[in-house]
Amino acid sequence: MQFCIQYDTVLNEIYISSVCGVSGRLTAKAIGATCGHTSEEGACDRVGCSVRPPGLRIRCSPYVTGLCGDQRSQLTVPQEKLDQSVQCTPDVTPTSGKEAVLLVGGVGFGPYEAWSWGYAKALPREGFGVCTVAIPNHGRGDATIGAAYVVNAIRYAREQSGRQVDVVAHSAGPALALWAMRFWPDVATSVDDMVVLAAPIHGTLLANAVCAVGFCPALAHQLSYGSDFTAALNRAPLRSSISVTSIFSLFDEGIQPAREVSSYPGAANIALQDHCPGRLVEHVSQMFDAAAYRLVIDALTHPGPAVPTRTARLCEGIALPAFALSEFVPPFVQGSINYVGILGEPSLPAAPPLPAYALKG
């Protein structure tokens, strides 16, 4: 009989779940055995280890929801490919004292196109280390495969930094990152702040329009409003310890209806125009908008999510620090070309079936 167990070496916690077909009492016995004894005394959150690190906490957790056992081995992408996709700046080390921020781009916009000219330059000036992940095929493929790369990237960033990491994602990137945190408990415990920009958390009607002819790429099916993918993504919440900030623009031409599809339960859901009336920010410009950047920094530098009223001069200026139009244009052009390339992806009559681990929990 399977049970879900996850030991978090940084937080010094063991998480177990009753959703994999065993009761709390049986799980308590199993967890006790892993600690060196077979006691079943009490509920699972009171089972102790005979010999354990000081302060070890054992918790029943609803967040251990999908894969059981060794989840690293459950990724279907070869480890070599996963490792080749992630890079961190040299200061992402346990001794640097810096928190690492993983940047996840959307369709067509990988590390070069989305971040090299903006956040990858600005965040180090704020005292952060930076990691990036390159989703294969410019992020145009099956979202569940893309999420595997984010799973590995978060694990890698945490291993390199020796501490919890932050995630900043744009466009389709948030869906991949949220999927990784939903179904891999060690990934969820590895993240402190999750900040998303222009996120189709509940899909987008643009994808529905693309699929209206009956056939469309897998990703368009998955990010359609009301899809099975977005239903699974939102069926259960993230760990309450993850501070989620969702920043969006009511003028976003790609993610609509913005307020509805970009809002996440329990998050700080921030429409830029609610605090900067009339601010002209569309989909791509959210990656360099000055107000959005200030909110991201506020989230990363304070406990909990962003608080707009805490940010002085929120609406001043146009672009984030160190922004140069000459550095932005070439990556933007390349990203746009990559984005249009999704039209050449295989058109399917329906979305790929959900992985077995995502059918419940």
When pLDDT is cut at 50, 70 and 90, the band that residue 212 belongs to is very high
At residue 149, the pLDDT reads 97
**Given this model, what pLDDT does residue 322 score?**
86
Q: Give the DSSP H or E segment for 333.
A: helix 325-340
Reported as a pLDDT band with limits 50, 70 and 90, residue 231 is: very high
Q: What's the rounded Cα separation, in Å, for the pair 286 and 252?
A: 9
In the chain, the largest separation of any two C-alpha atoms, in whole Å, equals: 66
- Tens-place pLDDT, residues 73-116: 378 899 899 999 999 999 999 999 999 999 999 999 999 999 99
Domain(s) labelled CATH 3.40.50.1820 in the chain stretch across 73-354
Specify the higher pLDDT residue, 290 or 357.
Answer: 290
Rounded to whole angstroms, the Cα distance separating 236 from 265 reads: 10
- Yes or no: domain 73-354 corresponds to CATH 3.10.150.10: no
Statement: residue 30 has pLDDT above 90: no
β-partners of residue 5 are 16
Residue 41: pLDDT over 60: no
Task: Measure the CA–CA gap between 301 and 193, rounded to whole angstroms.
Answer: 10
pLDDT in tens, 326-351: 999 999 999 999 999 998 999 999 99
72-81, 209-218, 270-279 — which is least confidently predicted?
Answer: 72-81
Across 27-41, 95-109, 202-216, 312-326, least confident range: 27-41
Check whether the bond before 200 is cis (ω within 30° of 0).
Answer: no
Q: What pTM did the predictor assign?
A: 0.83
SS3 155: helix
Pairing type for strands 86-88 and 129-133 reads: antiparallel
Q: How many CB atoms lie within 10 A of CB 81?
A: 13
Given pLDDT bands bounded at 50, 70 and 90, which one contains residue 203? very high
**162-166 average pLDDT score:** 96
